[in-house]
Amino acid sequence: MALSVDIEKKLGNFRLRVAFETEGGVLALLGASGCGKSMTLKCIAGIEKPDRGRIVLDGVTLFDSEKRVNLPPQKRRVGYLFQQYALFPNMTVAQNIRCGVRDRSRAEAALRDIIPAMHLEGLESHRPAELSGGQQQRVALARILVNEPQLLLLDEPFSALDSQLRFRLEEELRHAIGRFGKSVLLVSHNRDEVFRLSDDIAVMNHGNIEAIGHKADIFADPVTRHGAVMTGCKNISAVERLDEGRLLAVQWGMELRSPKSFGEAKYIGIRMHDICPAAPGETENVFACRVAEELENPFSVTVMLRPKGKEDAEPLGWELDKALWASLRGETVSVRLPGEALLPLEE
């Protein structure tokens, strides 16, 4: 259950260059739209042809530019869940699923298994246009699962759905992934979705993988500025190294210390919820700040802060509990940026 990808493809000015390996589980490709996530999936499925490189799935070479191997999509055994699900509109649910069964003599048995498993009872003779978004997704997944692929590709699986539906469908998708039990590649730009569904994360930007690793490690150390943005870090500033290990966060107008190595870092970041109120007696990374703005979220508050006397600094966002903010509220507030929460970021 291993996938190894190392491919290059040029499309006008855009250059896709991705290399990664996965040993099973769910790997998420996290990146903004247009970063090459979907193109990577299409190359693996055989819908697009890379200019150079190799794709190997479970020891089977799907593509190898040097050995001139390029298996057609039909022979790759890669299940692809398209953004809009790509159900055949002229066929019923049952006919759609039957299209996925490779061994025709097993079609009826496969249908009998998958329809209750994907909660599609009673919908067999409906056409895709008559189904809700969630039902369409289940049909598409059923059609892929009866196809018995060796790898599952999920392209923005929730982008076609209302936000209320998403959460419930995520649960269902998790079940389907569990039922599938083999390697899964998930493409998404939603960090919450990615964190909940995946084991490992690869952060993509401009056709490159900037960071790859276990999801907790990627969120703890997103490596690049883009990685920080994609994992939801809102506070990012250019950084300069001063003497005695002091760091200057240029846009925030703050001098900071961190136990982390900022060797090659060009930027410094801190997540909005990692900032904390300064306790009496603390002095390191503590700043008296003026409140520039207060934004109320449904269950929290975001306070925009500027260090006192630095009126042209870029405000720093701090997200905290409503009750906590009620107890601290004032025109100025003293906060601490914990050194271990500071993120060293490359370009």
Which residues, numbered 202-221, are part of the site for other proteins (CB under 8 A)? none
* Structure-token pair, residue 202: 């690869």
Q: How far apart are CA 60 and CA 338, in angstroms?
A: 49
Exposed/middle/buried for residue 43 (C-beta within 10 Å: 0-12, 13-18, 19+): buried
Helix, coil or strand: residue 134:
helix
Residue 132 near other proteins by CB under 8 A: no
> DSSP class of residue 278?
P
Closest CA to 318 of 258, 273, 270: 273
Q: Which is nearer to other proteins, 156 or 200 (CB)?
A: 156
Candidates 39, 55, 80, 226; binder of other proteins (CB under 8 A) is: 80
Closest CA to 81 of 174, 188, 178, 154: 154
Q: Which is nearer to other proteins, 150 or 300 (CB)?
A: 150
Q: Which stretch binds other proteins (CB under 8 A): 72-80, 192-200, 311-319, 339-347?
A: 72-80
Residue 107 near other proteins by CB under 8 A: no
- Cβ 64 to other proteins, closest distance in Å? 19
Q: Which is nearer to other proteins, 147 or 251 (CB)?
A: 147
- Cβ 91 to other proteins, closest distance in Å? 8
* Structure-token pair, residue 302: 């975001």
Q: Rg of the Cα trace of the chain?
A: 24
Q: Which is nearer to other proteins, 16 or 305 (CB)?
A: 16
Residue 86 near other proteins by CB under 8 A: yes
Residue 60 near other proteins by CB under 8 A: no
Candidates 143, 191, 226, 290; binder of other proteins (CB under 8 A) is: 143
* Structure-token pair, residue 28: 């998420």
Candidates 84, 125, 132, 332; binder of other proteins (CB under 8 A) is: 84
Residue 74 near other proteins by CB under 8 A: yes
Residue 12 near other proteins by CB under 8 A: no
Binding-site residue total for other proteins (CB under 8 A)?
A: 25
Residue 302 near other proteins by CB under 8 A: no
> DSSP class of residue 224?
B
Name every residue whose Cβ is closer than 8 Å to that of residue 93 and which is 6 or more positions away in sequence: 120, 123, 124, 125, 126, 127, 128, 131, 139
Residue 79 near other proteins by CB under 8 A: yes
Q: How far apart are CA 137 and CA 85, in angstroms?
A: 6
Q: Which stretch binds other proteins (CB under 8 A): 71-79, 177-185, 211-219, 259-267?
A: 71-79
Tell me how many degrees the CA angle 286-291-293 measures, rounded to the nearest 5.
135
Name every residue whose Cβ is closer than 8 Å to that of residue 115 and which is 6 or more positions away in sequence: 94, 97, 121, 124, 142
Candidates 21, 88, 108, 112; binder of other proteins (CB under 8 A) is: 88
Owner of token pair 């056409």 = 127
Which amino acid belongs to residue 271?
Answer: R
Residue 147 near other proteins by CB under 8 A: yes
Candidates 5, 18, 29, 45; binder of other proteins (CB under 8 A) is: 45
Residue 99 near other proteins by CB under 8 A: yes
Q: Which stretch binds other proteins (CB under 8 A): 1-9, 27-35, 144-152, 281-289?
A: 144-152
**HEC letters along 310-336:** CCCCCCEEEEEEHHHHHHHCCCEEEEE
**Contact present, 211 and 45 (Cβ < 8 Å):** no
Residue 106 near other proteins by CB under 8 A: no
Candidates 5, 18, 78, 256; binder of other proteins (CB under 8 A) is: 78
Candidates 82, 170, 199, 213; binder of other proteins (CB under 8 A) is: 82
* Structure-token pair, residue 221: 């150390």
Contacting positions for other proteins (CB under 8 A): 42, 45-47, 72-76, 78-80, 82, 84, 86, 88-90, 99-100, 102, 143-144, 147, 149
